[in-house]
Structures are given as C-alpha cells and as structure tokens.
DNA sequence: ATGGCCGGGAACCCCGGA
C-alpha cells in the first residue's frame, strides 16, 4: 500500500499535475490540501475516469481537502467534530482498514496574530479529537500540511527563522503533543538526505537554492509504523511547469 | 535589499499563503 500527501495550492490549476503524478506514481491513497474549490466544482469525473474514488470538502478561494483512493472509501467525516470551523481543513475516512485523516493545519501568518491564535486553538482541538481517533482506530494515519517544521534540521536556515511562524516553540510543542498520543513522524523512521524539505517559497529562487521547510508530514500509529517500509519526499513535480510550492510526501507499507 | 512569487476574486489591486 502506498499513501501520499500533497498540498496542491489550487486543484483547479494543479489537476493536470495530480493526474500526471498519479500516472507516474501509482498511489493507493492520495490526500490533497488547498483545493480551493467548492464541492460543486470538484473534478469528480476526471478522477473517477482514471480509476479513483474521491471524498472532498471545500470552499471558495481558500482551504479545501480531498482524499483520492483506488480502494473503497467509507465512514467519511468532514471537519473536527470537536471544533466549530467555517474553514474546510479536515477530511477523515477509512480505506483498506486504515483510518486516514487528511488535514490542512492553519498557516498562522505571524506569531501572536489572530491567525496564530486560531492555529493554536485549532491544534488543541485537533489533539483532543485525534486522541479519540487513535483509541478507536489502531491503524491510523494523520497526514497533511501541518505548517510546522518539527526541528531545526527541517528548516533551511534556522537562525533566519527564529521567532517566525512554522517554527515557534508553541507550534512545535503542539506537534510534539500529537506524537505523544503514540504517533510517529514516518519520514524520520528512515535514513534521509540532509536538507530534506517539502515546501519552497516561490520567491527568491527558493527551490533552486533549496531554501525550504519540511512542513508536510505523515504521522503513523504504532500498528501502521510496524508496516511502514519507507517514506520519501518526491521533489520531481516541484520542477514541473507552474508547480505547487509543496512536494508530495509518500509512505509505503507492507 | 526595505524584496522578488503565486492563486483567487474582483478588477487592473489586495488578501492569504509560508
């Protein structure tokens, strides 16, 4: 089984990239974020014709998440039942006995901004809900754009990022609390190249100079960790024409 | 370098992203 997460930064623009990537990288479950599409605009036909089932929840202009799967999708839940949220950022579903949570964690904009307060409140409620999901579903994968770089080695220039959103101690603690539920960052289960990132700024030749952050993660419960045989970041689509600023992260399972 | 890039939506600038 192969499970991937990718912030596509507008599915309207990136649908061809998604289709091409799925063709080149047969994937059982692809979780995407920032679709920026209302549900009536979701490209159901294109994906179904390619042999995938879909679940999605979106809104105009911002946010929006979806799960694209070769295998049947059941027990779909939209949003965190414990957090009233007008923003469409969470989709959970069961696929092949695995509970998959696709999440787009708020950006936070700047430490101590209103958006940062929202991010922290969102993460607290997410922790509460994921704790329960973990108790209910031994095989749990919590994947998506976390907008948090866990450690300094996940940041191209840690000194330059001190005090910035994505690396602040409070955000990192929130991610750590999620891990304490019994989840593991699948990327760090395996030897990885130095300076591995999943996002690069469009500006300043960010990708060319590998000035990035590793903020997209696949967190796994212990039962899934036992089955995990690899986790990689696929930089290839970041080199395509008109790319998303994020790259897919892929975990494989026995 | 005080910044550069994107996408969306409403217009030909501004917001949000990270």
The domain defined by A2-253 carries CATH number 3.60.10.10:
yes
Q: Where are the domains of chain A?
A: 2-253
A171 touches strand B (CB under 7 A): no
Mean pLDDT of A208-221: 98
> Strands (DSSP E) along chain A, which ranges?
2-7, 29-33, 53-57, 65-69, 73-78, 90-95, 98-104, 140-145, 184-185, 199-200, 212-213, 216-220, 228-233, 249-253
Report which residue is nearest nucleotide B7 when distances run from CA to C1'. A10
| For residue A144, pLDDT beyond 90 | yes
β-strand partners of A101: A92, A142
Annotated catalytic residue: which of A52, A56, A145, A197?
Answer: A145
Per-residue pLDDT tens digits for A167-213? 999 999 999 999 999 999 999 999 999 999 999 999 999 999 999 99
Mean pLDDT of A55-74: 97
A106 touches strand B (CB under 7 A): yes
Q: What is the pLDDT of residue A112?
A: 85
Q: A104 an active-site residue?
A: yes
Per-residue pLDDT tens digits for A3-26? 999 999 999 999 999 999 999 999
Q: Are A85 and A122 in contact (CB under 8 A)?
A: yes
Binding residue positions of A: 7, 34, 145, 147, 245-246
User: Is the overall model pTM greater than 0.95, yes or no?
Assistant: yes
**How many Å does it take to go from CA A45 to C1' B17?**
29
Nucleotide nearest to A165 (CA to C1'): B18
Per-residue pLDDT tens digits for A223-240? 999 999 999 999 999 999
């Amino acid at each position: 089984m192969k499970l991937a997460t990718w912030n596509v930064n507008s599915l309207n623009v990136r649908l061809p990239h998604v289709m091409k990537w799925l063709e080149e990288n047969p994937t059982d479950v692809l979780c995407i974020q920032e679709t920026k599409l209302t549900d009536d605009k979701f490209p159901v036909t294109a994906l179904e014709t390619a042999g995938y089932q879909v679940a999605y929840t979106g809104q105009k202009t911002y946010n929006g998440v979806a799960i694209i799967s070769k295998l049947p999708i059941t027990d779909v839940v939209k949003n965190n039942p414990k957090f009233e949220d007008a923003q469409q950022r969470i989709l959970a579903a069961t696929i092949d006995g695995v509970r998959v949570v696709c999440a787009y964690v708020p950006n936070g904009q700047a430490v101590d901004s209103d958006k940062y307060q929202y991010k922290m409140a969102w993460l607290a409620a997410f922790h509460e809900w994921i704790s329960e999901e973990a108790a209910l579903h031994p095989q749990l994968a919590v994947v998506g754009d976390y907008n948090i770089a866990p450690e300094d080695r996940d940041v191209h220039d840690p000194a330059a990022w001190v005090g910035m959103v994505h690396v602040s101690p409070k955000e990192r603690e929130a991610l750590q609390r999620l891990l304490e539920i019994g989840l593991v960052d699948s990327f760090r289960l395996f030897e990885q190249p130095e300076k591995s990132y999943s996002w690069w700024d469009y500006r300043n030749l960010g990708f060319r100079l590998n000035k990035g952050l590793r903020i997209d993660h696949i967190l796994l419960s212990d039962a899934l960790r036992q089955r995990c045989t690899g986790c990689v970041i696929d930089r290839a689509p970041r080199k395509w024409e008109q790319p998303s600023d994020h790259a897919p992260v892929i975990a494989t399972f026995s």
